[in-house]
Amino acid sequence: MHLVGAETSSETWGGVSGGASGASAMTWPAAWRVLMHTIHRFAFAVVMALAAATAAACTAQNAAASPTEPLTLVMIEEHGCGYCARWLQEVGPGYRLSDEGRRAPLLRIDRFSKDAERFTRVVYTPTFILLRDGEEAGRILGYPGADFFWSLLADLLRKIDKPAGVTPASSITTMPHR
């Protein structure tokens, strides 16, 4: 009984037993292992380079924002938080370049770090805390999606722009007279 494909284990890289260079020829399974090992090493190097670049970008972004700036958006996050990862993927890359991001730079803080202890009632991650002159001016709990996030952040920024006790005429709703 002859198994189809059984002869491939003795074939060499060159396709002919013995190959062009004799002893230096490599069998298909050995060549496959070398190829897979090379691919894995390359993929690992790419992942490590991306991780280093991301860490450098986050460090630069955190250095650009501090709780002493007039406005700062603090993101309380937690390792393994799927919603934090979604925010970082969907909003994070463009936040710094947006009008909101330039106005209120982002400061990312781990939920279990010493820096997070100053913020009370952090139950959900991510929790976004808008600071004005180092004091809390508002919060966004969780991440319901990019559109909702931008809308909620715009509302927070509008609220801190209004002087106390003054309501713009455009935001007053009147009922029509009969």
CATH of the domain at 80: 3.40.30.10
Assess whether 70 and 93 both reside in one domain: yes
How many domains is the chain built from? 2
User: Can you give the residue range of the structural domain that contains 125?
Assistant: 65-161
Cis peptide before 176 (omega within 30 of 0): no
Q: How many CB atoms within 10 Å of residue 150?
A: 15
Residue 175 within any structural domain of the chain: no
Asked if the model's pLDDT at residue 3 lies above 90, the reply is: no
Q: What is the pLDDT of residues 99-136, one digit of tens each?
A: 999 999 999 999 999 999 989 889 899 999 999 998 99
Residue 103 within any structural domain of the chain: yes
Residue 7 within any structural domain of the chain: no
Return d(Cα 35, Cα 33) in angstroms, integer: 5
Residue 169 within any structural domain of the chain: no
Assess whether 51 and 89 both reside in one domain: no
Residues with Cβ within 8 Å of 66's Cβ and at least 6 positions away in sequence, in order, are 72, 107
Give the global pTM. Answer: 0.56
What would you measure as the largest C-alpha separation in the chain, in angstroms? 101
